[in-house]
Structure 1
Amino acid sequence: MRASHADRERAVDVLKAGFAEGRLQQPEYEQRMGRAYQAQTHAELQMLVADLPQGPVPQAQFAPRPGVPATFMPMPMPMQMPMPVHTNSSATGALICGILMPMTWGATSIPAVILGHKARAEIRRTGERGDGQAIAGIVLGWLGIGGWALFLLVFVLLAATGG
């Protein structure tokens, strides 16, 4: 099996410990270090550290063996949170308010914008799904608000001109 950079570093750590404990002389230590960095397979690394207290640890093994200092063991993988499978309810509410906006004469425009922004903040924090729904609710809500603003502007202009 081909050796990874981490495998080489573990073998180098074993060699360093062997040198620090007086198990290797300086010339032999330097020679083995050079070979460790050039090693291509686990077998080559094992040959370099076979006569030392322990050799490189396979990547799949995470529990320390008796007599193996934790220094030479691979770091445990951090636990990853599973991706949530549900959609943010505020995002769904924003989309529904945006869709209902024409039927309510724009009364649901402001709730669509508020729920959409609230949903996007929650989605960023929790990683839930529904960002597209939240954006759609925001866009539809602002279109409704813009429509009402245009209507009021035209009404005021007509009233001011006496028309």
Structure 2
Amino acid sequence: MSYGPWNPEGVPARQQPGQPMQTMRASHTDRERAIDVLKAGFSEGRLRQEEYEARLTRASNAETYGELHALLADLPQGPVPMPAPAPVQYVQPQPPVARTFLPAPMPKTNGSAIGALVCGILTPMYGLTAIPAVILGHKAKAEIRRTGEEGTGLATAGLVLGWLAIGVAVLVILIAVAAS
């Protein structure tokens, strides 16, 4: 046998065995939830101003679920729920597309190969970048063979431009020495 709310004499009243849990005490959250349902009912035009104010006062002073239930029974959101919510079980989300249909990951381009090409392109403007183009080109080719990265063409282009610039510089120096 369970006990209901306290009676005016300060003694808990006994609840009848077949009676629902409407004599269980309501919490502040339950009263706030009931007030929200009343506000929604009023804003939808289901309650008149006087009726809304009267129910709002009674909901603020309600002590049990039964009192709150009586205030909300004729509104669409219904009475305040009494049972505790079921525990939520975590379900690991599945990827939206099967891995088989996703594109293969792009291989990374070697940074030294990019540097070799940039230095090779800048050689006609600055001249001294031919040597770093050759060094970075050879370094990039070795790294690409070892790691399987992309960028073989970039490294080769950097090497060719670097060696061409060095060859042209050596040819100009030889012609200048021969002419003097």
TM score, norm. by length of structure 2: 0.41
Using structure 1 for the length normalisation, give the TM-score. Answer: 0.46
Structure having greater relative contact order (Cα 8 Å, sep ≥ 6): 1
